[in-house]
Amino acid sequence: MVTDVSYVGPDFEPTPPRRSFLRRPLTVAVAALVPGALAGWLLWQATGAPDAGGDDGGTAAASASSSAATAPASGEPTDPGTRSSPDRTPTDGGRKPSASAGSASAPVASGPLKGKVVVIDPGHNPGNFRHTTEINRQVDIGTNSKECDTTGTSTNSGYAEADFTLDVARRLRTVLEEQGVTVKFTQDGDRAWGPCVDERARIGNEAGADAVVSIHADGSAAGNRGFHVILPGAVHEGAADTRPITGPSRELGERIAGRFVAVTGSAPSNYVGGGTGLDTRTDLGGLNLSTVPKVFIECGNMRDGQDAARLTSGAWRQKAAQGISEGIVSFLRT
């Protein structure tokens, strides 16, 4: 979750207004940056077909301002009694939590990508709301300090972002392991809270990961729809030096964005990234402190009814995991 104006957290502050070099027609960005990667989106755009949830993007501007005033603050802890999806698909993706955060999942005997290591970072933690003192502790992110972690957002019906991220992450792990990838988690529902954003980055670094993907869902105003992938900007300050990873991280993000569109049918964000589905940030500790290619993906806006219908669907979450995995696999094969 990034852009809810009522929610401020360590890695999830509102996107600062700016004119990004990414604000140009999608077809130009695709042709220049990711040959073939966004083919699914181009087909979607060319045919004018609606996305999986019937979102035509036409009502976003009209509904955003009125909804922002009434939407609950996404930083508020979710009532644990309501943290369940209308879709009763098991939220563990068919797998039990691993023994400890950051540990490898079960060894894979073979596969075309055997030897590759991917760290999956399920955003937040379902237990964070019980540990506000711990998650409010300041940590160094290189450029400044921020809170250790946050509670995340939720849908208006109470489905928590932290539950969503774990479910998608576990589904993603299963798909990647079928390719022979060694998958590690920053947390797998096996710790009471956290980890802090600096530790999340450190887990990927110490694993020598070929790629790290942090899974999230946004908490913006109703009418703001679609997904976006957050890329690290160039940072060189304190403990942060992202200069070596900005290029490969961009490639990773572009490939994930392209496959996410094609597999899920979701459109790129209509409120972040100028229609490209990509957003560059220099204020996120999880990216600033990474020394390996890393991106965040905001899979949709939990505060918008149309996006929430997707995010609470087990079938759609499986598509989300598949789309992310295809982007990662494409990146690993380069």
Question: pLDDT digit string (tens) for 105-141?
Answer: 455 448 999 999 999 999 999 999 999 999 999 999 9
Please give the tally of structural domains in the chain.
Answer: 1
Question: What does the alpha-carbon distance between residue 79 and residue 126 come to, in Å, rounded to a whole number?
Answer: 10
Q: How many helical (H) and strand (E) elements, i.e. helices and strands, does the chain have?
A: 10, 10
Residue 94 is assigned to a structural domain of this protein: no
Alpha carbon of 254 to those of 35, 62, 221, 324, 331: distances in Å? 10, 29, 25, 11, 9
- Answer whether residue 10 is part of any domain: no
CA pair distance 167, 165, nearest whole angstrom: 5
Q: CATH number, domain at 318? A: 3.40.630.40
Name the residue range of residue 186's domain. 26-53+63-79+102-332
Residue 147 confidence (pLDDT) above 80: yes
Report whether pLDDT(187) > 70.
yes
Cis bond before residue 195 (omega within 30° of 0): yes
- Judged by DSSP in three states, 265 sits in coil
The pLDDT, as a whole number, for residue 202 is: 98
pLDDT value of position 52: 36
183 near 103, Cβ under 8 Å? no
Which ranges constitute the DSSP H helices of 69-159?
132-135
Residue 278 in domain: yes
Would the pLDDT of 102 be above 60?
Answer: no
pTM of the model: 0.73
> Hey, how many other C-beta atoms are within 10 angstroms of the C-beta on 116?
21
Exactly one of 199, 254, 298, 326 is catalytic; which is it?
298
The token duo for 8 is 């401020």
Reported as a pLDDT band with limits 50, 70 and 90, residue 1 is low
pLDDT, the chain, mean: 79
Instruction: Average the pLDDT over 229-237 and give the result.
Output: 98
At 229 the pLDDT is 98
Whether 326 sits among the annotated catalytic residues: the reply is no
Q: 272-319: per-residue pLDDT in tens?
A: 999 999 999 999 999 999 999 999 999 999 999 999 999 999 999 999
> 120, 181 in Cβ contact below 8 A?
no
In a domain, 12, yes or no: no
Return the pLDDT at 110: 80
- Let me know if residue 269 belongs to a domain: yes
Instruction: Please report the pLDDT score of residue 69 as a whole number.
Output: 32
In a domain, 85, yes or no: no
